[in-house]
Chain A
Amino acid sequence: MKTEIRKSLSGWPFWLTLLILCGMTIYSALFIIHSDLEASTRIVRKVVDLESNPMLSVKSLYSNWIGAEWMTPFSTLFFFVFPLCAAIPYGLSLYQERRSGYMGQMVLRETRARYLLNKYVAVFLSGGLVIAVPVVLNIMIIALYFPAHAPDLNYDIYTTVKAFSFGSKLYYEIPWLYLMIRVAVIFWYGGVAATVSMAVTFFSRNRFVILFTPMLFFLLLNYSYTLFQVPYEISPLRFLGSGNVYYVVTPIVIGEALFLSFLTIAFIGLRGRKKDVL
């Protein structure tokens, strides 16, 4: 397993994708900070009315990190391309190892189940990390400028956390824990997206189909909510970030991740056990 994890995190696709995603999140953070600095300068120069509300309660780490801001297109783009980016680092490894015959060699040296388990863990970790690390970096940069004071309930229209939505109680009471849970959920979905592409390896021999299936799946899911007028946000492309209009409810966020994790494990377990390595 150690070898698999090392392989998954040392390849250049992992580092290049990480670099691109970090670029997006850094831009998002710097843009937010720059905009706030400009607004503050206007107040200092008395360009704006000093009696107007300076909205200090909104100027918090918890309402300006990439999962809560919608000021820059990069925050939307980041959560839009996450299924593809999660699959890039190691999603193709099983396909490549099957094609090159490496899998056959490995299966001779250890059990097939063990090989697939190690591969699954490595793919999950690489997908999760490549998505979660840029988010953490964004939070760190935002935290350098914005204070981490608890959000004010009176300003709830300026945040995407609606009453009774996913983690809303925690958001106002223990916001740092809420932030950690949100990052953990983002990590989980990144891992799930990567393992979906691994599961597709057993159904397709086309590397592009393998890589793009998670993104197409999430895109179709994203469209289905408008088509079927679902009252809750069901698309991870929307609820992982800030661009949501409907309620983000806990059973859907956790249930969807659990369901997809179970589905990928079942597919990989069943098909991987039966499908001939040669």
Chain B
Amino acid sequence: MLLWETLGTAWKALGASKLRTALTTLGMVIGVGAVVTMLAMGEGARAMIEGKIRSLGTNLLSVTPGAPTRGPVRTGSVETLTWDDARAIAELGEVALVSPESMSSAQVRYLARNMTSSVVGATASYLAVHSYDLTAGTAFSDNDLLARRRVAIIGANVARSLFGNLSPVGERIQIKGMSFKVLGVLEEKGNEGFFSPDDQVLVPLSTHQAALFGRDYLSSIALQVASEEATSRVETEIKRLLRLRHRLGASAEDDFDVRSQQEMLQVMGQVIGIFTALLGSVAAVSLLVGGIGIMNIMLVSVGERTREIGLRMAVGARRRNILLQFLVESVIVSVAGGLVGLGLGALGAAGVATVAGWPMVVPVYAVVLALATSFGVGLVFGVSPARRAARLDPVEALLHE
């Protein structure tokens, strides 16, 4: 009975000035929408990374150079890993495949078209270790490496940018002014976090070191361990071997890092989580602004409806009836804004998911959080105007013009 009267009054009051009500909800729409988008983006990125971890398997290790430090000062360079290190690792038991890699950035050109891409010096095992396939042409042979031939395998994006619809296999591209024959094209993989395998150009590691960039250290050594159980044993072996090879004393720190692919992706997941939290909390500030907007309009509404409040008191409304009336109105405005924001946030998340190529996930907790937050904001910011209304003196309220 009284509930219907309260809801009916709220409905009529909010419907009386639709534009004002709509503008009042806007802060909540934007706030909740932004928070939901951020949370969904975080979840989408996480789901993508988890998918990668599953597809990569757990038996991949990556060795990267790391400079030793003395106090706060870096004393070494990152030029610590060599091809010989990779060959030595390949001699270890339980290591299936080793892929020494050297990555640089260079301009790649075909006729009048050019682009900047990652030029990766690789060996024949590169494709197998990273589970890349070719859509056209062939991979390097051992002879290509031995003879330091100027041949290349190009990523899907590189092929598209430089060749359009033409077949790149057999054509010659220019890397740093040198002519390379295209042997094959990599299949499209999509972004992998901060590195896009579709933008890379593979050349024989020997050619990369001798002809292109003139250096003999590696960016990383990727390797596949024979079995998953052996991974940690191999990790320990590699550390021992490299410390020995690099002549590190007992007190010296490692000048390299050994990590499983899984660990690296997990680190990336953590980074994404931090970004999500950061952006989400920025978005949450607009919830505060939205709440203040609601409070402002509710105060105006109490002022406008002072006589109505007086009349309601005269016909028997208790103070708590008046309090509840205005609280219900602010909560309705806030939750309505939250619902619209939830819808827009889901749309935004879907848009981002399409562009970024990860699954669209609006987690249940984000929905619950959005609704609970908008309810709470309506309640918290509605209390002060509602109390003001409920505390009005009946006589003064009735005499109010």
Pairing of A with B = no
